[in-house]
Every structure is written in structure tokens, then in C-alpha cells.
Structure 1
């Protein structure tokens, strides 16, 4: 398979394991047929979540249903002489279960009582039902797998209507397994385990299927098993033989891969948690449940693809920045890959360019200037964007010129950037482009400050603050990251007491600095402290060093200080420069030597 972009790879973590009191390794008919005659204590499957947030799983060889609460505590709900697999809720307290031995069964989760729902088809036993899904009209779709495979492609897919009519939809599937509907219920997806693929079939208005095709092809010793659909319409495929969960876009391209422990068997999956956005995965042979959070596209609806291209671009960029501010660089990258992909489909050079400009911005703030220049060159290959200034685009996101000036400032080419920005500001004033003007004035203030024109830099920053403070416009400041913090701190020291006289809303700058993870002033410690002078650590930098000495990593520090990981990295760069340290270990050692640690 050729992929334009590699998928994001994430690791699932252990949520809970089957307690020892429920483990008794032994041979069963099911393990003899499906696990090579090994003695096993469980084989977990069929995850489903109730309205209270409890997770239910089946244990096939031992005929058991368990309930697992949010804290990971296990409770036996039901046990009978069966081989339960897939499960779905029919009502608040009743599960419909595919039982390999007995057909479809109903389980009351309050009492543990079990009763038949559908045991046979026209007096003929099923091969061995496996999994099921329900639509909004009450139809039940289920797979009848048995021991079918490429040697015996006679597995079946059924639909059971609310009236009790059983429709045979497919009868030629080599090992039908997991089954799920698309969000609009127009397509049915079936995992074909022995064929190592997933089939997709349109559902016609009269209930029949047609034009069934192969949607996704996997590889490895054991093919796709359980399926799930996220709120964005992405298909999730549990692949036991690889210990993977594939997350597929509408073109069946893997955009994310969730990995379990090597050699384990990830068989099925379901969404749960308070917002139904935590993914639970059965690690069947280990008798464990894995989980991973924040997988789902939780900031943009799937409908974003239908809006105007500029709105779509802006939404993706802002969503990416929110993810980055939360410290989730994987999600930030995912947003940009989505935008680039959508831009290529439309096609929209602006969308593709914006994705690369955001990469250039973050690389510049990270100090990775070569990477920033490379990203900027990639952006410039997608159209003559400077003309878009006349169209009013780029208020919310960067254009190449803005990215170029930001990079010039980071490279120390302050005078060059200052001259260019002064001309751009004159154009923005003439066009009354107020939001663009704010971004340009911030960059201009930074360029002037770097060119040793400190007073003029503060004047320019005052103009920007006057423009922003009364409307509460803070994002443009946040977008420039730590490089702007020192200048804002100097402004607060020099002019903060008279901010109202300067036309700046009182409290705006201290509040802004707090959101940027810095104190309202950059006052140095008293001269008697060991690190007094221009290289003194700020109070926030001392906080970072203190946490560093306790062994905290960047993400933990960011969470405790309520800032982004990017801000923590910037603090660490400044701390290392001030202390003359070459590593995190040296930072702590020097800080301790100077008496900076409690």
C-alpha cells in the first residue's frame, strides 16, 4: 500500500486485568478448536459500555460476562454453558450476545439471568455466530463465522428485523467476524479474518446488499477481528496477529496505528469514558483491557469538509494549535496531515500551504531554524499567496511573508525584517486590516527590539496592545510564544502602571503573561542572591528548575504549571543559557550549587 503520509503510531496502555480469583487455566472445547488445545484461563472479547460508564466483556471459553467499573474493578455478571462473544445493549439493562454454541442470547445485567433470543435459522443451527451491530431502526446485523476460511468461504452475514424476520445478506464470506455500520447507516463493514481484509457493502433502500467490495487489506498471521466506528466516520480495525488497531480514513488509508504489547492479541474494541472518546481494547490472550484516550477528532466535526475552503483551513489550523497548547503534538501533527490531505483532494493550494506554514511557525519557536526554512520552502511551492492579502485572507493564519519575517527575526536578521514589516503595516493600515495589523505589529516590535531600538519597540508593542486589549484578542500573542514574553514583561515594568493612559485595558498584560506561563514582571532577585544580574532566573524559571530536580519530564512540568510543553522547552533553553549548562542534569547540579533549589 502506498501512503502519502505515514500514520501516527501510538501505544495503548493497560487499563485493567482479569483478577486472579477469576483465573483457572484449563482446556475447553473452544480452546481445543481455536487455541491449539492449550489450557487457558480466559479469552476476553465483545467489549461494550453502558450509560453509567461500566465496561462489559465476554469470556468465550468459560461462558462468562464481566462488568468493569471506571476504576477497573471486575464483577461477574453472568455465567452459563455457552461461548459468548460479541455483545450490544438492547435496553438499559439487557445485553444481546452472540454465543458461538447457542446462537443469539439475552442477558439481564441486573440479575445475571440468560435466555435464548434466536437459536436457529429455519430449524438449521448456525455455524457459530460471532459478532453483531444494531441500527437505529432496531435491526440486528450479525456474523455467522464457524470454522470457515479461504478453504470454506461459506460464512454468513444476517439481518434480524424487529418483526423477527431473518434475512441472509451474504453467504460466501471466508470467516466473517467483526461488523459495524457507517454513521449514516448506508454501508455495512465486515471483518474477513481468514481473508485478512475488511469488506464494505452498500445497503439498499429495500434492505438488500449489492456491490460488496474489499475495502481494506491487512497482513500478518491473523487478520481483522473486531470493528468500531468513531464519531468522524473513521473505521477502527482490531488486528490480533499484529497486536495493532488500524484507524482508517474514508479511503481506507491508515492515519493512526495503536499498538499493544508485542506478541499479544488485540481482538475487539469499544468507545467509553465520560464522553465516549476513550477506546477500550480487549487483549484477549493476556486477559487484560487496554485503553487509549483522545483518539477521536474531538475538536472538529466531520462536517468541516463541507464548508468553504478558507473556513476549513482556519478551523484545522486553530484546532492544531489548541492540541499543541495542550501538549499533544501527535494530535497537532494529525490535524496538519488532515488539512494537507483535504487540500490535495479539493484541490486547494491554500490549505496545503497553511499546513506547511504552521509547521514552519512551530519549528521557528522550537529553535529548529533549518527545519523551519525547509517547511517554508515547501509552503511557497503551493501558489503565489502574497496576492491573497488583497482578498482579505490570512487574518487568522499565516501567509508565507509572515512566516518569513518570523524566521528572519529568529535568525537575528532584525533590521531586514523591521523594514519589510514597516511596509506591510502601512498597507494593513490603509486596508483597515485590524487583525492582520495586530500580528504584524507584534512581529515588528520583536524585530525592533532585536535591532536595539528598545523604546521604539515598546511604542510599537503599545500600539498592538491598544488594538488588542479592549477586544480581548490574545491568540496572536500566544502564537508568537516565549520570544514575545520578555518584551511583554519589559513593557509591564516600564508602562504597566500607566497602562490606561496608554490606551491599554488595565490587567490585560498581566493576564496575558499568566496565560503565556510567565510572571507579570521580569524583576531580578535582590543583588545578594547568588544568580543576580542579567542572567538571573525568573520566578517561573525557578519553578521549572525545582520540578526538574524532582525528576519530572517536560509533559509533567507543563501540566503542573498549566502551560504547553513548548513553553517548558523554551524555559529550559533560557535556563541552560543563563546557567551555562549543557544538559538537564547540569541544570539541576548548577542550580543546587548556587542555592536556587529548596
Structure 2
């Protein structure tokens, strides 16, 4: 099966199970702010710019290092690729154990790159079988060193300043926590269909998108994970938009791809969002660049299950 077809089936087929739960109201948040019709964000609306391509890949996770090099994972082959700059060729640097199901990427405070894996069909029952795992990637040699296993999934990863890692599963409920020594708390928090993962600048909140169940965006207080706070709840046609891997800008505003709508949104205040870009179906994640060159700081990028990497001009942050 072609990689694009596989990625589409994984998200649409398994997602149908979770979507059915959504229609029954499972995981709904009482009193959540409802979304209004989304206008175009001020200064946005320019066409996305294609800046990279991994032919045949279904891109799931991405991270940019301090030199502006972008790393990204292929859900189907399990490979990790590096692009040294916009327009550069994608170079494979590693393959996760099992050869498929590569998930999120995230940097640790000491500059190590974490790779989530185990993102195969088992994620639909991830809370029970816990196939998710994390390894540390040596970006110089391509060597992978296992860090932790026994997670519901590692579809989204975020690392706090103290080195604690948070991992999500958009097809199940458990949000896991991993300590720097590899200790795992697989059920640190419970939030149905939590996807993506981004920590606020003060490490007080873990922001996640909710993809299939009660779609929208939540933030989980690290000091009180049993009391997630709603930021955005989608209604009407947007309830099927499938928010995917999100990022936070310098003002801690969530920026999230609406996979099924083909749009990139920014949540400006609770319950209100605007459109940064459109015409990008199958978007899996957005992220900001780093450094002064390559995929540089302030610039917003999108990866997708179509293997393409785009810059979103209207999303510049700085």
C-alpha cells in the first residue's frame, strides 16, 4: 500500500472509531466555550510556500534544532529524516525499532532529540496494551537509545525545563509522563483524544489538541492534571475538522492544523480563532523554526501526511 494511502487510512479508519465516541458525547467538557465562525487572521491569507518534500512519506512529527535544521518522522517506514534548510533534500538519519510507527519528536533541555514510536494500529487500544515508547537519537551518528516504554502512545511529545516528558495518544485517553531517568507514569492525566503537545513558556500548562472526541484544544495544569481546562470547543461543521499536532507562539497562543478542513488556525482567546492558511489537507503538525538560518526562528512550518513541508507566511512570530 502506498504511504499516502496508509497514512490516510490510519487517520480516517481508526479515527472513525473515536469519532463514533465523539457523537455520543464521550469526553465532553461542560461549559466549554464554543467556537465562532473563523475569520482570516490579520496579516494572513498569503498562499503557503512549499519548502520541503519527503516523497512517499506520511510525516507525523517534526522538530528544528538551533542550527535551523528540520527533523521529521515518517509514520509508515519509521524513518527519521533531516532537511538542512528549506529546499534541501531530505536525508534519512535513523529508523525506529520495528521499522514503522515513528511518532513525535522533541528536544530535551540538554539538546538531545527524543523520538516517539509505536504509533501503529495498536494505538486504538493504547491505554490497554501501551505500545508507545521513546528513544534518544544521536543526531550525529543516527544511533537510537531506548529511554522509556509502556506508554499509551507518543503521538505528541513535550519536554519541560526539568526534563520531564509528556506523551499523548489521539486514539485513546491516557497522557503519560516520563521522568529523566526513564521512569514512566502512563496515566498521569486522562483526556480523550489528546493530540499534539506543547508546554507554555512557564511550564505551567500542557496544551493539547483534541482530535476526534469533543474536538478542540485543552490545557492541562501540570500541578493539577485531573482538572484540564478547555480553550476551544469546535461545533457545527468544524466539529469534524480533526485538529492535529499544535504549537504555541511567543504569546502562548495555540496554533493548530485542522486536518480535515485543510486550514491552519490560531486560537487568539478562549473560544475564538482565526485562519492563518488554507488549502492544506492532511496536515499533521505545525511548528516554529529556530536559529538564524535554515528553518529559522519566528517562521511557522507545516508538515503533513502528504509528505510535504510548507511555510505559513501569515504565521510569522516575532
2:102 aligns with 84
SS of aligned partner of 2:260 = helix
Equivalent residue in structure 1 for 2:220, among 187, 195, 201: 201
1:238 equivalent to 2:257? Answer: yes
Q: Quick check: 2:103–2:118 contact (8 Å CA) kept in 1?
A: yes
Q: How many aligned residue pairs are there?
A: 258
User: What is the match of residue 96 of structure 1?
Assistant: 114
Question: Helix, strand or coil: the match of 2:212?
Answer: coil
Cα deviations by residue, 1:562-596 (Å, 9 ceiling, x for unpaired):
xxxxxxxxxxxxxxxxxxxxxxxxxxxxxxxxxxx
Partner in structure 2 of residue 144 of structure 1: 169
Aligned counterpart, 2:17: none
Deviation at residue 54 of structure 1 after TM alignment: 0.4
The answer to whether the 8 A contact 2:212-2:240 is kept is no
Q: Does 1:55 align with 2:80?
A: no
Q: Structure 1 residues 128, 188: closer, same or farther in 2, change over 3 A?
A: closer
| 2:240 is aligned with 1:221 | yes
Q: Please give the alpha-carbon distance, in whole angstroms, between the structure 2 residues aligned to 1:50 and 1:162.
A: 20
Per-residue Cα deviation, 1:307-365 (whole angstroms, up to 9, x for no partner): xxxxxxxxxxxxxxxxxxxxxxxxxxxxxxxxxxxxxxxxxxxxxxxxxxxxxxxxxxx
CA distance in 2, matches of 1:166, 1:119: 7
Q: Name the residue aligned to 1:14.
A: 50
Aligned-pair CA distance for 1:116: 1.4
d(CA) in 2 for partners of 1:91, 1:6: 35
> What does the per-residue CA deviation read over 1:54-111, in whole Å, with 9 as the maximum and x for residues that have no partner?
0111001101011011242121111242311110123676321110255112211111
Distance 1:93 1:183 in 2: 17
Hey, what's the Cα distance between the residues in 2 that align with 1:276 and 1:92?
19
Which of these residues, 164, 188, 193, is aligned with residue 206 of structure 2? 188
Name which one, 1 or 2, has greater alpha-carbon Rg: 1
- 1:524-582: per-residue Cα shift (whole Å, max 9, x none)? xxxxxxxxxxxxxxxxxxxxxxxxxxxxxxxxxxxxxxxxxxxxxxxxxxxxxxxxxxx
1:220/1:242 CA distance change after superposition, 3 Å: farther
Structure 1 residues 216, 108: closer, same or farther in 2, change over 3 A? same
Q: Which has the higher contact order (CA 8 A, sep 6+)?
A: 2
Matched, 1:290 2:283: no
Pair 1:107 & 2:137 matched:
yes
Unaligned runs of 5+ in 1: 24-40, 121-125, 149-154, 299-598
Question: How far has the Cα of 1:52 moved from its partner?
Answer: 0.8
User: In 2, are the aligned partners of 1:278 and 1:294 still within 8 Å (CA)?
Assistant: no
- Select 1:265's aligned residue among 266, 282, 286: 282
In 2, Cα distance between equivalents of 1:94 and 1:57: 15
Alignment partner of 1:184: what SS?
A: coil
Shift of 1:3: 6.8
Q: Say whether the 8 Å CA contact 2:109–2:163 is kept in structure 1.
A: no
Structure 2 CA distance, aligned partners of 1:244 and 1:68? 24
* Corresponding residue for residue 174 of structure 1: 192
Are the equivalent residues in 1 in contact too, given 2:263–2:279 (CA < 8 A)?
no
Alignment pair present for 1:156 and 2:174: yes
Residues in 1 aligned to 2:199 and 2:111: alpha-carbon distance in whole angstroms: 23
Contact conserved, 1:12 with 1:259, CA < 8 A, in 2? yes
Q: Is the 8 A contact 1:138 1:161 kept in 2?
A: yes
* Larger helix percent: 1
- 2:80 aligned with 1:65: yes
Q: 1:182 to 1:4 in 2, by over 3 A?
A: same
The whole-number CA distance in structure 2 between the counterparts of 1:2 and 1:91 is 38
Could you tell me which residue of structure 2 aligns to residue 128 of structure 1? 153
How far apart, CA to CA, are the structure 2 residues paired with 1:270 and 1:64?
19
Question: Does the CA-based 8 Å contact 2:38-2:275 persist in structure 1?
Answer: no
Map 1:438-477 onto structure 2 (within 5 A): none
Q: Give the superposed CA RMSD.
A: 2.4
Q: Unpaired segments of 5 or more residues in structure 2?
A: 1-34, 120-131
Aligned to 1:249: 268
Shift of 1:198: 1.4
Contact 2:277 2:314 in 1 (8 A): no
Task: Give distance in 1, aligned partners of 2:275 and 2:40.
Answer: 10
Q: Matched residues in 1 for 2:261 and 2:314: separation? A: 22
The normalised TM-score by structure 2 is: 0.73
CA distance in 2, matches of 1:279, 1:233: 14
Query: 2 CA distance for matches of 1:45 and 1:221?
Result: 20
Q: Is the 8 A contact 2:300 2:312 kept in 1?
A: yes
Which secondary structure does the structure 1 equivalent of 2:113 belong to?
strand
Contact 1:59 1:84 in 2 (8 A): yes
Name the counterpart of 1:37: none
SS in structure 1 opposite 2:155? strand
For residues 6 and 70 of structure 1, do their structure 2 counterparts lie closer, same or farther at Cα, with a shift above 3 Å needed? closer
Structure in which a larger fraction of residues adopt strand? 2
